[in-house]
Structure 1
Amino acid sequence: MTIARSEVRRAALRIAPYVRRTPTVLLGADRAGLPHDVVLKLEGLQHSGSFKARGAFNTLLSAPVPEAGVIAASGGNHGAAVAYAAARLGHRARVFVPANAPEAKLARIRRYGAEVTPVGNDYAEAYQRSLDEEARTGAVRVHAYDQREVVVGQGTVAYELSRQAPDLDTVLVAVGGGGLIAGCASWYTDSVRVVAVEPERAPTLHAARAAGSPVDVEVGGIAADALGARRLGTIAAEVTGRYVDESLLVPDAAIRRAQEVLWEELRVLAEPGGATAVAALLCGAYVGAPGERVGVLVCGANLDPASWSVLPATGV
């Protein structure tokens, strides 16, 4: 399945009244121990705390939504984005979540007015329940990563970045089910090198590339709630096969260090999944060529500060 750049451009115009044009910031090599400066796209400042709002809005604005409303299955970020978009557009929303999903993320979904229904202990069970609910009610289902409108919407991150930093040579993107990287690669095609970064304990794309097609993998680690899809999406498999140059794995320790660097140097709070692409630079999994201009998507910030020991204690 191919996605044209014109689709991404139209989606950017469609969702513009509803999403933020998130900023970029330069992370200097002299401050972070990097071999060169890096342009960070701070998508954690997006509505609902991650890039996921883009795909949610694009889906709900692409076709009429019935009275039955909107449904989704999610471990957190996608559910929050769907709940936010549905509330903004005046639709009912119901989100099926694994029972072990982080409470901070579930609280955000509820705060946006969606009904939260815990199902089982993993995304697959929640997703199956959403399929059953779609068949029963006729509600619009918004897939977390393997739906054309969702992928096109996520690609608007790259559309924006290409205007904010038009001279990049390489962009590093974290991967879970593959919706974000598929959207970004569909925009950049061969004009910019797109590199995938995954946690070692959630190697969905890496395993698919090794096997020649999507396969089920065991997932775990500190970023599993955001990047813990067990199988790469079919859209992502095709798009990344064409346009993604490299697939890298990083350990949990590097992800945690990336969170620390983002906080210490920029006062940017990133959840583990949001910091995963930065981790590839800090641990040496990706080493750019001399003079290479590198951009990194910091894609999510839905982290409970009280659970993270790096942050200083509250005080005056």
Structure 2
Amino acid sequence: MDWKAEIAAAAERSSAYVQRTPVMRSTVLWDHPVDLKLEQMQHTGSFKARGAFNTLLSQPVPSAGVVAASGGNHGAAVAYAATQLGHRAQIFVPEIAGPAKIALIERTGAALTVVPGEYANALEQARAYEAETGAMQVHAYDAPATLAGQGTLMREWEQQGLDADTVLIAVGGGGLIGGALGWLQGTRRVVAVEPGQARTLDAALEAGAPVDVEVSGVAANALGARRIGSLCFDLAQKYLARRVTVTDAAITEAQRTLWQAHRLLVEPAGATALAALRSGAYRPEPGERVAVLLCGGNIAPDPLG
């Protein structure tokens, strides 16, 4: 697949519907300046709106509408995109999505079902709903339209003047980092950052194929896929520079520091990439210019909810 062409097409069709999120340079988060992309300021508080809009705009939507399973952020994005485009939406989320993300989906007006267990349990019910109703499944990460939509973020960042050698990106199911790899294709170093208790990409690359892993920890409601997507896995084998894992303590420390230093309120998943830099899990070479993607801001509990 020509990912650069797919991502460029996704950007063209969805540009009127998604936010062009800000970038900034911080001189206090690490020993050297760090470029940040503030994607927590995207519609519904995460990058997921990009893939949702691209999916719904790139193909006919049946009268039954759309269905999605999500840890929270993807469901909110699909619900928002469907509402904006005039489609019905049924969202399934696991209990671990948490009150902030559940409330966010409810505010869109979409139909919502909270499922006992983890993301995989919500996905099972979403697939059953798809088979029963004919609704269009919008996969959270392992679908070409989703991945191409997420790839518009990296394309946009480069248009905003990104000059980093290395970009640190958190990994869940792989849609976001897959999109970045599909756009960059080795022109910059991409470092995958995963919680140590949710290492789907790390385990897959060790095994030579996607495998199921147990997931838990502070970022599990966003980075809690049990298995890396096959699209991301293939791109990572070709283009990923490095992968590292971080502890829950490092994630919460980075989350706290972003708030204290810049009044940037992000969820644990949104702080995971920065945690690699601050904890030393990733140590840049002398002179290496580093950028960090802040991918989501749906914190629980929502302090203003």
TM-score range, shorter chain: over 0.9
What SS does the corresponding residue of 2:90 show, helix, strand or coil? strand
> 1:24 aligns to what?
23
What SS does the corresponding residue of 1:225 show, helix, strand or coil? coil
Note the 1:167-186 alignment, pairs <5 A. Answer: 167-186=163-182
C-alpha separation between the residues in 2 aligned to 1:166 and 1:154? Answer: 17
Q: CA deviation at 1:3?
A: 4.3
Q: CA deviation at 1:305?
A: 5.1
Q: CA deviation at 1:306?
A: 5.1
List gaps (5 residues or longer) in structure 1.
312-316
Note the 1:62-211 alignment, pairs <5 A. Answer: 62-211=58-207
State the one-letter code of the partner of 2:179. G
> 1:53 aligns to what?
49
What's the % identity of the aligned pairs?
56
C-alpha separation between the residues in 1 aligned to 2:196 and 2:227? Answer: 15
- Residue 229 of structure 2 corresponds to residue 230 of structure 1: no
C-alpha separation between the residues in 1 aligned to 2:121 and 2:282? Answer: 35
The correspondence for 2:241, drawn from 236, 242, 245, is: 245
TM-score (norm 1): 0.94
Q: Cα deviations across residues 95-120 of structure 1 (Å, max 9, x unaligned)?
A: 01113420110110010111111223
> 2:286 aligns to what?
290
C-alpha separation between the residues in 2 aligned to 1:306 and 1:197? Answer: 25
State the one-letter code of the partner of 2:20. R
TM-score (norm 2): 0.97
C-alpha separation between the residues in 2 aligned to 1:292 and 1:218? Answer: 34
> 1:14 aligns to what?
13
Q: Cα deviations across residues 167-199 of structure 1 (Å, max 9, x unaligned)?
A: 221111100000100000100111111110000
- Aligned alpha-carbon RMSD (Å): 1.3
> 1:277 aligns to what?
273
2:96/2:221 contact within 8 Å kept: no
Q: Cα deviations across residues 207-262 of structure 1 (Å, max 9, x unaligned)?
A: 11111111111111100000011000111110111111111000011101111111
State the one-letter code of the partner of 1:25. M
What SS does the corresponding residue of 1:227 show, helix, strand or coil? coil
C-alpha separation between the residues in 2 aligned to 1:99 and 1:195? Answer: 30
C-alpha separation between the residues in 2 aligned to 1:266 and 1:149? Answer: 34
Give aligned pairs, total.
Answer: 304
Runs of 4 or more off by more than 6 Å in structure 1? none
State the one-letter code of the partner of 2:261. E
State the one-letter code of the partner of 1:8. I
C-alpha separation between the residues in 1 aligned to 2:95 and 2:117? Answer: 5
2:212/2:226 contact within 8 Å kept: yes
> 1:314 aligns to what?
none
C-alpha separation between the residues in 1 aligned to 2:156 and 2:22? Answer: 9
List gaps (5 residues or longer) in structure 2.
none
What SS does the corresponding residue of 1:292 show, helix, strand or coil? coil
191 and 98 in structure 1: CA distance in 2 versus 1, 3 angstrom threshold? same
